[in-house]
Structure 1
């Protein structure tokens, strides 16, 4: 038993050596930079790092030492160069380190953990019958889990790596059968993954790569017990990655309990809106004026691309959908009362261009990645600024600077007006005089202003 344990430790040691050697051999231009040049490069990208012996950022995918097969898959998906978060996250993860990655929505976080996962899996012995998965990705919502599943399949197919998606709203029996058949990667929502673990549809004995995506949202939704349960069933020598667009202190403290000596990478300001998105804020007298504003502006938005409209209540979503259909718009609705099959069909039709407008609650605020989406409308304000950032981040994806986010603020929403002013200033956006006047009505707001 002791000899077997020693053998496993030796194997892990040499795998770590090979990872480091891979990064060294294929990234000579990076390794040849001085410490000052590295610091200046990070500064130019807006990257801040903390942790022990942080690997240097890359400049191109070739610096990662990926196989020709994986490089072809990257090229086939239209990836020309790494995004900012990928520049720093890829070398960290490829070196075997744990990471806390914080970057704005639409910054390419998914590829930052999927690409190294492919490398990690290819380094492992093949799965035997009823073993697996090796990689586990947890996401807070069905929509985000499905989006990650699709992205993972794009890169996994050429390597013969099987990917399964498990989340609520779909047949548990079918998911059970698929997991029993075997897979190297599982993308899941925490609740459904726990259900299938209890059913013994899969085992975590071979899982050595764990990703928690949009971790703050998972904690917000009350998934902390499930996350701890999942982590408790995965091997202690795992590699753990945690990514999000925002990182409250309470979540970071919890995250550090399940990560080992993590490197923290922050791109831009935590919780700040994507600066590539043009934000337009309209102060209107009351909720009754919102529909007329939308009907007037919608044709112009559709001329630029697809439109996503956020409402706070399911009833509002259905009402807006009904009125827009009456006016002849090609529109669909998405909210929690619709079953998963219906929601996925709606998203697929929206992506295919059958619908030009999607009305949704915050179920669509995270993970929805549609290149044709050019306009986001906050028909109702978000419950907080974190959700506002995620909402408007559905456009302006991966450096696209054509996205526009419209927010309708009523006279009674002075509280949110103040927070919105702070967000606009931080993102270098124009602050309308009407919004500033409304914000000033909030007693003492200017004393807490981030830029005063």
Structure 2
């Protein structure tokens, strides 16, 4: 240790001793004053004088107690400064005692363990439990095993035969109040998986309360997905008399602010939600149910700082945190470890590593061609599918750029087809109208950029056409994931040109993983896989999971 360091330590020690001597001196002085006052009271003959002295004694005693409390606070403050700042409460994984309970249905309890194991194996459900002491919960195999109670709520599930695998496995844990991570393909029913427990959780919290407050917060990466979740949550919240509100960018803030009053559930995009938190329009301090939907996508888009702020602001008692994702990369694992308490991980499919894979129910076709042949081939496909005039048939045509999407939309319309579009150059109102027309079947052809490629649930999409291949193989998987949803089959046709040559290897891997035929023309481009570039930091981004831990250096 240097001379300067020793001098500083000795100076700090001397100062500490001096403060202790001063406090001891003050305490003795106060005690002497109290003794003098007491002695004076004994010798004073008149009652009036005695009363005045008693008043002085009380004041002196009060001052002494105040001085001691102040000194104690200063000592605690000094100790806190030496130890460093306390961690944010929302970022510490604490052992919480959940108020939620889940009672297993009698019909489910009588099933043998072999029957349960057979169902888990057939549905490709893997449940990984971090809490080794916790007992595994049986999946809800049938809607009869689910305690719905409300007639209006039961009607929402009347058109479904049985829960999807992610719903079957997740519902018991979510209804029991557990933190959970759901890793499943697109179109697997994740919204209903977290939506039903959310509505029941908030209904219990709001029971008997006069003025509702925001108790549930659902965060998703895009406006379209946020609106879609909001649509589902309105149906789930209505039977309980709850209000669900949606906030997202691209529209007037004042109008959205007005809708917040009386809301118990908020569905939002990260950017707009943070804006409202910072300006004080939204208070998440009572949020006890937090959902991060499409978490991997939000991190890919650089929303990690916003997510951390939201998770910190959502500081309700015994908060239940849920994360749903299509992949399980190190960066998502790190985020889960930061904000979740002993989460149970539920994985659907044979993909134990959590890598992104294409839906095996989708028939994938890749056509290698000259870019100038795209328009003619597109018309051939539309003609082959009868112009998609059947009531149940809809097709999504994906383009890479906004101007390209507008051009292709105009070309298809010029050829006599009824078509609409959705891309970044359109206003939010126009995008919403286009999507609604497509979902209702008023228009059965939709030309879109990747803004619509993630999370949108349009059950009747039978065909996805990739007019231009996306920038990454992951985006390709998300694009074709718009078909083959909820157990249905689908078809995708991809136009691939020499311009996309560096992505050929990654596409070949996706096709092979889904047991799809790989065209010979595609193999000619080679099978080398180009490293994926980060959406924000490009090719220079390094995953935190790959970085070495910091080395602590101690100087003597």
> How far off its partner does 1:411 sit?
2.8
Structure 2, unpaired ranges of 5+? 1-95, 532-556
- Counterpart pick for 1:43 among 121, 124, 127: 121
SS at match of 2:465: strand
Contact kept, 8 Å, 1:277 with 1:396, in 2: the verdict is yes
**CA offset digits 1:174-193 (Å, max 9, x no partner):** 111111x2111111001111
> Quick one: which of 225, 234, 237 aligns to 2:305?
225
Residue by residue over 1:314-357, the C-alpha shift from the partner in whole angstroms, topping out at 9 and shown as x without a partner, is 11111111211211111122111212111111111222333221
From the CA coordinates, give the structure whose radius of gyration is larger.
2
* Residue 145 of structure 1: how far off its partner (Å): 0.0
Is this contact kept in 1: 2:179–2:343, CA < 8 A?
A: yes
Task: Identify the residue that residue 192 of structure 2 maps to in structure 1.
Answer: 111
Match runs of 1:11-410 below 5 Å: 15-16=99-100, 19-20=101-102, 22=103, 24=104, 26=105, 28-33=106-111, 35=113, 37-51=115-129, 52=131, 53=134, 54-69=136-151, 71-76=153-158, 78-126=159-207, 131-179=212-260, 181-235=261-315, 237-268=318-349, 269=351, 270=354, 271-284=356-369, 286-301=370-385, 302-303=387-388, 305-401=393-489, 403-410=490-497
Contact 1:121 1:184 in 2 (8 A): yes
Structure 1 CA distance for aligned equivalents of residues 188 and 380 of structure 2: 32
- Partner SS state of residue 503, structure 2: helix
1:90–1:112 contact (8 Å) kept in structure 2? yes
Q: Distance in 2 between matches of 1:369 and 1:279?
A: 19
Using the alignment, how far apart are the partners of 1:90 and 1:378 within structure 2?
35
TM-score, scaled relative to structure 1: 0.88
8 Å contact from structure 1 (residues 273, 423) kept in 2: yes
Shifted more, 36-45 versus 419-428: the winner is: 36-45
Which residue is 2:548 aligned to?
none
Note closer, same or farther for the CA distance 1:169–1:34 as it changes in structure 2 (3 Å cut): same
1:308/1:15 Cα in 2 relative to 1: closer, same or farther (>3 Å)? same
Q: Tell me if structure 2 keeps the 8 A contact 1:177–1:201.
A: no
Distance 1:202-1:135 versus aligned 2 partners, 3 A rule: same
SS for the counterpart of 2:160 is: coil
8 Å CA contact 1:132–1:202 kept in 2: the answer is: no
Moved more, 88-97 or 152-161: 152-161
1:430 aligns with 2:517: yes
Q: Distance in 1 between matches of 2:492 and 2:486?
A: 16
Higher relative contact order (CA 8 A, sep 6+): 1
**8 Å CA contact 2:503, 2:529 repeated in 1:** no
Residue 427 (structure 1) shift:
1.4
**What SS does the aligned partner of 1:123 have?**
helix
Q: CA deviation at 1:255?
A: 2.0
Shift of 1:129: 6.8
CA distance in 2, matches of 1:13, 1:266: 25
| Cα contact 1:46–1:267 (8 A) shared by 2 | yes
1:298 Cα deviation after fit = 1.4
Structure 1 gaps of 5+ residues are 1-11, 446-452
2:394 and 2:445 in contact (8 A); partners too: yes
**CA displacement, residues 91-117 of structure 1 (integer Å, 9 cap, x when unaligned):** 111111111101111110000000111
CA distance in 2 between counterparts of 1:384 and 1:315 reads: 20
C-alpha separation between the residues in 2 aligned to 1:413 and 1:263? Answer: 40
* CA distance in structure 1 between the aligned counterparts of 2:157 and 2:299, rounded to whole angstroms: 35
Query: 1:369 deviation in Å?
Result: 1.5
Measured in 1, the distance between the counterparts of 2:119 and 2:520 equals: 38
- After alignment, is 191-200 or 79-88 more displaced? 191-200
Task: Tell me if structure 1 keeps the 8 A contact 2:277–2:283.
Answer: yes
Distance 1:382 1:444 in 2: 14
TM-fit CA distance, 1:412: 3.9
Indicate if the aligned counterparts of 2:398 and 2:450 stay in contact, CA closer than 8 A: yes
Distance 1:122 1:444, change over 3 A: closer
Say which SS state the counterpart of residue 124 (structure 1) adopts. helix
SS at match of 2:141: coil
